[in-house]
Amino acid sequence: MIINHPLLGPRDAQEFTYLGDASLIHRPDWQGEDASGQFHDYLYLRDNLAGQHRELWFHEVGDRSWLVVTRNTLTHEITNVELARDVARREGRGK
């Protein structure tokens, strides 16, 4: 599988480590109300859907960047790749 890195171009998926659902970007506030319950859900509850899925990938062998990859889990077709920092900023997280 080839991942088209937004900065480095096409890279073999073996350069990356899959880290799970991209919703992990939305880490709960540890000081928020019901933080314990929110962290439980954040850590342990995951949807396992077939089809289009947004995933976090880490470019371990390359520039060590985090990517949000939109991939069809049935066909492995990748339809979008973005830097995770850009996704987080667009969604109101991070600086």
Q: Spell out the residues 6+ positions from residue 39 whose beta carbon is closer than 8 angstroms to its own.
A: 28, 30
Q: Which domains does the chain have, with CATH numbers?
A: 2-90 (3.30.2270.10)
pLDDT of residue 86: 94
> For residues 55 and 32, what is the distance between their CA atoms, to the nearest angstrom?
26
pLDDT of residue 4: 97
pLDDT of residue 63: 95
DSSP annotation string for the chain: -EEEETTTEEEEGGG-EEEEEGGGGSPPPTTSTTHHHHHHHHHH-----SSEEEEEEE-TTTT--EEEEEEETTT--EEEEEEHHHHHHHTT---
pLDDT of residue 78: 96
**pLDDT 10s digit of each residue in the chain, 95 long?**
999 999 999 999 999 999 888 877 777 888 888 888 888 887 787 777 788 999 999 999 999 999 999 999 899 999 999 999 999 888 876 55
